[in-house]
Structure 1
Amino acid sequence: MPRSTARRALVALPVAFALSLTLGACSGDASGDDATVRFGYIGDYNGASLLAIAEKQGLWKKAGLTAEVTTFNNGPVQIQALSAGDLDYGYIGPGAMWLPASGKSKVIAIDTLTYADRVIGQPGIKSMKDLKGKRVGVPEGTSGDMVLNIALAEAGMTTKDIDKVNMDPSTIVSAFSSGKIDGAGFFYPAIDTIKKKVPGLTEIADTKETGDSFPTAFVAGNKVPESKNSKVIKVLQQANDWRAQHPDETITLTARMLEVTEAQTKADASHVQTLSTEELADKTRSGEVDEWLKKLGDFFVRNKQLDKNPDPADYYTGDLYTKAYDK
């Protein structure tokens, strides 16, 4: 990445320590500098690909913006940084969508539909029933937590039937690989890392099997002005359409940004459904995006992460998204 883009690799650090480093590295109110975009992301294809494209294609510069990007290991910690005014924008998976739904941030753009989440078990564990009474690691508030709760409900179980242990993603990788936990609510590409050490692990549950749509999204802090959001949305839309037209080049750019192999990035991208900006704008106008968010909201209410399911218009700036596309 060019020197103009600040990239701080926090992915392997514990969440609390990662956040403290980020807060020290970033300063100022999120609404103060209209030319600087402080953007958090997760180090995977979903979180990084559009940012890699925007930098390489000079889209930030064309919009009169300068991007500073920071890696995080999950969505919730980015929402904390947004709330503190230490980030302007971030990327979240579907499991963290309850945070903007609870008023902690605004969804400014849908990124992809992801089906990368799994409940995994040690070799020989073949069902949710086999996990009864066993230690199951999960990064709480993420899509790993989401798929675990979906799988438990489908098996007629609750978290009381397992020994649920809150862990950050890097700890889950080491704990599962060393046999300290029996299962995990987790996600690709990190599962591929575990497979190298535990090739016989089992995939017990899969979000794709539900038949539902699980949107990933870009979010903005509540104090970021609408004018700035409009510019950033336009950049994301331009990068999104370039991604659709140049899938192989996108793999190369993303792998380079994440400092992993193209084969790893390609495998990661295989769990993702991308949509053109036109499709996303049409689905926003038709209310289909709202339906995705409402269905997630219903899940979060059942899971007691939300007291009630809000109107998606309260936290998804769909009007801004469609206006940016129409310009």
Structure 2
Amino acid sequence: MRSRLLAALMSVIGLLAVSACGGPAPAPSKIKLGFSAWPGWLPWQVAEERGLFKVNGVDVELQYFDSYTDSLTALSTGAIDANSQTLNDTIASVGSGVQQTIVLVNDTSTGNDQIIARDGITSVTDLKGKKIAVEKGTVDHYLLLLALNRAKLHEGDVQLVSTLTDSAAAAFAAGHVDAVGAFAPHTTTALSRPGSSPVTSSAEFPTLIPDHLVVRTEMARLRPDLVQRLVNTWFETLAWIEHNPDEAIEIMARRAGVSPLAYRAYQPGTTFLTKQENQDAFGSRTLHYRAVQVADFMVDTGLLYQRPVMDELFDDQFVKAL
């Protein structure tokens, strides 16, 4: 689910490009929205197939990314206008100089990010000295560091094998490494290895891996009306899913490339936030406090060089207007 960008690879493309006549380009009339195969973001596929973007009067070009990392790059370089991504990945992007704004909390990860180990490894402490495949800099690398820290271990106490999340899950399933950090639906691949099981998951850190709708700051400034309609669509989609669960699961499972039965197993591991919970989180500065907490941990563990300025990271106007 979901990786941070290396600062050296960041490039920022401004939304206000200079036109041929020398003036600023017109404000965008639609939103290019990216998402990838995380259960908390697959409702966007439902919104597309059920025509809910059009119902809410917003022209959305929905783009699915097989690689979550590619979606982060696309938002940071201006190839898309909005993306669903984790808090820690957004902090990493902002820390490298990209202007991004969080306008919505989609969900929190409550079990669908996992560290899965082979038979005979039953705790995080048992990972000492073992080979662990993980996409370095990803949210599951972050989860691994959280778990190691709680077990009084450090990254140097394990052997990291850095690879993309889907390849990491496949390598573990094939028996090439002792453990893997992965998010659903890649956890299904990893758990196909006989005797494997999670030794920890995001359920043990239920507030530290929130997932957000993030837009380029220029988009929020130039077309707040479009962003508002996108936020409105999200909650209407959740309501539609609640009233049509079987059809919704068919749509999301198909996009994730798993069976509806497998997809149902992911449901407890992703907790969606309601309108009221979003309003409470933005209004109480809970999100800012959590961002500071996450950023400080990322600095302490080497995922960030320094904590970025985050005073304007969250824009509450859109959830307030719901």
TM-score range, shorter chain: 0.7 to 0.9
1:269 deviates by 2.0
1:85 deviates by 1.6
Native 8 Å contact 2:41 2:84 kept in 1:
yes
1:311 deviates by 6.0
1:230 deviates by 2.5
**Distance in structure 2 (CA, Å) of the matches to 1:210 and 1:259:** 27
Match of 2:263 among 253, 257, 265: 265
What is the letter of the counterpart of residue 168 of structure 2? I
What is the letter of the counterpart of residue 106 of structure 1? T
1:217 deviates by 1.0
DSSP-derived class of the 2:302 partner:
coil
1:165 deviates by 1.8
Matched, 1:220 2:215: yes
Matched, 1:99 2:92: yes
Match of 2:205 among 195, 206, 210: 210
Q: Which position in structure 1 is the counterpart of 2:46? A: 53
1:136 deviates by 1.1
Pairing of 1:54-93 with structure 2 (within 5 A): 54-93=47-86
Q: Which position in structure 2 is the counterpart of 1:237? A: 235
TM-score, reference length from structure 1: 0.80
Structure with a larger share of its residues in helix? 1
Q: Which position in structure 2 is the counterpart of 1:139? A: 135
Native 8 Å contact 1:75 1:93 kept in 2:
no
Further displaced range: 93-102 or 232-241: 93-102
Q: Which deviations, in whole Å up to 9, do the C-alpha atoms of 1:12-64 show, x marking residues without a partner?
A: xxx9xxxxxxxxxxxx97x8673332221112321211x12322342221343
What is the letter of the counterpart of residue 165 of structure 1? V
1:212 deviates by 3.3
Pairing of 1:99-178 with structure 2 (within 5 A): 99-102=92-95, 103-104=97-98, 105-115=100-110, 116-178=112-174
Q: Which position in structure 2 is the counterpart of 1:288? A: 286
DSSP-derived class of the 2:121 partner:
coil
Unmatched segments (≥5 aa) in structure 1: 1-10, 16-27
Q: Percent identity?
A: 22
Unmatched segments (≥5 aa) in structure 2: 6-15, 18-24
TM-score, reference length from structure 2: 0.81
Indicate how the Cα distance of structure 1 residues 45 and 216 shifts in structure 2: closer, same or farther if over 3 A, else same: same
Indicate how the Cα distance of structure 1 residues 54 and 189 shifts in structure 2: closer, same or farther if over 3 A, else same: same
What is the letter of the counterpart of residue 112 of structure 1? D
**Distance in structure 1 (CA, Å) of the matches to 2:72 and 2:27:** 19
1:74 deviates by 4.8
DSSP-derived class of the 2:182 partner:
strand
Indicate how the Cα distance of structure 1 residues 184 and 158 shifts in structure 2: closer, same or farther if over 3 A, else same: same
Q: Which deviations, in whole Å up to 9, do the C-alpha atoms of 1:225-256 show, x marking residues without a partner?
A: 34232332222232234334544443233224
**Distance in structure 1 (CA, Å) of the matches to 2:133 and 2:257:** 27
Q: How many residues align?
A: 299
Q: Which position in structure 1 is the counterpart of 2:274? A: 276
1:307 deviates by 4.1
**Distance in structure 2 (CA, Å) of the matches to 1:309 and 1:126:** 34
Q: Which deviations, in whole Å up to 9, do the C-alpha atoms of 1:73-126 show, x marking residues without a partner?
A: 454432211122211111113442423542532222110111211212121122
Indicate how the Cα distance of structure 1 residues 178 and 261 shifts in structure 2: closer, same or farther if over 3 A, else same: closer
Matched, 1:180 2:173: no
1:135 deviates by 1.7
Native 8 Å contact 2:105 2:273 kept in 1:
no
Indicate how the Cα distance of structure 1 residues 140 and 121 shifts in structure 2: closer, same or farther if over 3 A, else same: same
RMSD over aligned Cα, in angstroms?
2.9
**Distance in structure 1 (CA, Å) of the matches to 2:312 and 2:302:** 19
DSSP-derived class of the 1:86 partner:
coil
1:144 deviates by 0.8
Native 8 Å contact 2:109 2:206 kept in 1:
no
Native 8 Å contact 2:282 2:314 kept in 1:
no
What is the letter of the counterpart of residue 318 of structure 1? D
Indicate how the Cα distance of structure 1 residues 310 and 241 shifts in structure 2: closer, same or farther if over 3 A, else same: farther
Indicate how the Cα distance of structure 1 residues 239 and 99 shifts in structure 2: closer, same or farther if over 3 A, else same: farther
Native 8 Å contact 2:203 2:269 kept in 1:
no
Indicate how the Cα distance of structure 1 residues 175 and 244 shifts in structure 2: closer, same or farther if over 3 A, else same: same
What is the letter of the counterpart of residue 31 of structure 2? V
**Distance in structure 1 (CA, Å) of the matches to 2:158 and 2:320:** 44
1:284 deviates by 1.5
Q: Which position in structure 2 is the counterpart of 1:301? A: 299
DSSP-derived class of the 2:195 partner:
coil
1:316 deviates by 1.7
Q: Which position in structure 2 is the counterpart of 1:24? A: none
**Distance in structure 1 (CA, Å) of the matches to 2:57 and 2:29:** 6
